[in-house]
Amino acid sequence: MLRKFIAPALAATLVLAACESSTAPAATTSDDDFALVMFGEAGTSLENTMGPQTGARPFDGRSAFPPLPDSLQLTQAQRDSIAALRASFRAANQSTLDSMKAIFEAAKTAREGGSTREEVRAILVTARPLAEALRPKVIILHQAIRAVLTNAQRAWLEAHRPRRFPTPMGPRP
């Protein structure tokens, strides 16, 4: 009798332990989102700074966080402020962003064409000097965008951040 109860209870416990405790949609940090690969979490601030992209997989930081819930949606003033910050950043760093976009597009094309991770990484490594020069500015942009958010919005994003961001391709010792 005890065996009939323990086996299903153990199975149910294992199933529940394997499930995510949160009902919120999981954020999918993609290894194909090259802004996140280059800049880690700060790469999320680059969304829309590299111009239009084709295909379903963005590479400019869009895949990092799930959208805010309805109760915490950005106001029009917040959207305008963030857009202005990104436009200013784009204007100040256009040539570097254009060069990075070209490299990211080459890496994306290679990835979609069946290249190995090592081959894609070799393409991305060519953007490392650009990323190293841009990193302090990206961090400042990221902090400025976070300052536009309310405390509740920042708390929600922190609570729903991906378990891991790609390790930024920082300087090599």
Q: What is the pLDDT of residue 56?
A: 65
Q: What is the pLDDT of residue 161?
A: 78
Residue 27 lies in a domain: no
**pLDDT, greater one: 144 or 20:** 144
Q: What is the pLDDT of residue 2?
A: 40
Residue 29 lies in a domain: no
Residue 120 lies in a domain: yes
Does the pLDDT value for residue 27 go beyond 70? no
Q: How far apart are CA 7 and CA 168, in angstroms?
A: 45
Q: How far, in Å, are 13, 23, 75 from residue 153 at the CA level?
A: 34, 18, 11
The stretch 28-48 carries a mean pLDDT of 74
pLDDT (tens digit, 9 = 90+) per residue, 65-84?
A: 778 899 999 999 999 999 99
How many domains is the chain built from?
A: 1
Q: Which helix (H) or strand (E) holds 140?
A: helix 128-148
Does the pLDDT value for residue 25 go beyond 50? no
Q: Is the dihedral of CA 83, 89, 95, 101 positive or negative?
A: negative
3-state secondary structure of 115: coil
Q: Residue 137 belongs to what domain range?
A: 35-46+74-167
Q: In which band, very low, low, confident or very high, does the pLDDT at 35 lie, cut at 50, 70 and 90?
A: confident
Residue 112 lies in a domain: yes
Q: In which band, very low, low, confident or very high, does the pLDDT at 165 lie, cut at 50, 70 and 90?
A: low
**pLDDT, greater one: 155 or 32:** 155
Residue 64 lies in a domain: no
**pLDDT, greater one: 165 or 91:** 91
- Nearest CA to 160 out of 14, 13, 22 is that of 22
As a whole-number percent, the residues of the chain with pLDDT over 70 amount to 69
Residue 57 lies in a domain: no
Q: What does the mean pLDDT of the chain come to?
A: 77
Q: CB of 66 within 8 A of CB of 25?
A: yes
3-state secondary structure of 89: helix
Residue 12 lies in a domain: no
Q: How far, in Å, are 67, 96, 117 from residue 25 at the CA level?
A: 9, 34, 27
The segment with the largest mean pLDDT, out of 36-45, 55-64, 97-106, 161-170, is 97-106
Residue 108 lies in a domain: yes
Please, which residues have CB within 8 angstroms of residue 114's CB and are 6 or more apart in sequence?
none
Q: What is the pLDDT of residue 160?
A: 82
Does the pLDDT value for residue 131 go beyond 60? yes
Does the pLDDT value for residue 1 go beyond 50? no
Q: CB of 153 within 8 A of CB of 74?
A: yes
